[in-house]
Amino acid sequence: MGEHQALPSGWEIRWSKTYQKNYYYNKAKKESRWDPPSAEEKLGAKHILRKHRNSRRPSSWREENITRSEDEAREIIEGYLREIQEIPDAKERDRRFSEIASKYSDCSSAKRGGDLGSFAIGAMQKPFEAAVLDLKVGEISQPIKTDSGIHIILRTL
């Protein structure tokens, strides 16, 4: 990695006292490595989005004109999160997450159970990406606010 090339979001360079050389550390993932991280690294997530009247585009495949408040959107998302978290089995949680996303998410990814597939670091809105990086694969976030609305995120990659 050239000296002037920026590191992907979440990565920093640290010094190894033991080996007397630089290494790369991702604080969110608690991951370290000798080789520089690539901006081409992929993340993956499913999400459930509820838009509100102040979202950057307050309409969706479900509703032409969204009029709910941000607080109402957050309450709805928190209800979904509580329901999903009550399920003890990870596979069943994943299935229910996808089912709720398919029926209620305001994102077009609803047709894929909320699955956004894989995406490069830097491709999503900063708060969304930061939330994904804070999660381990299989974990679900607390509600996250972006310009699009209020999300819960399930990390898949």
Which residues belong to the active site? 47, 107, 125, 148, 151
Residue 4 CA to residue 101 CA, distance in Å, equals: 41
Residue position matching structure tokens 């969706």:
60
64 is written with which tokens? 């032409």
CB-neighbour burial class of residue 106 (10 A; exposed 0-12, middle 13-18, buried 19+): buried
CB-neighbour burial class of residue 11 (10 A; exposed 0-12, middle 13-18, buried 19+): buried
Residue 129 CA to residue 9 CA, distance in Å, equals: 9
Residue 78 CA to residue 31 CA, distance in Å, equals: 30
Q: Are strands 31-33 and 115-120 parallel, antiparallel or unpaired?
A: unpaired
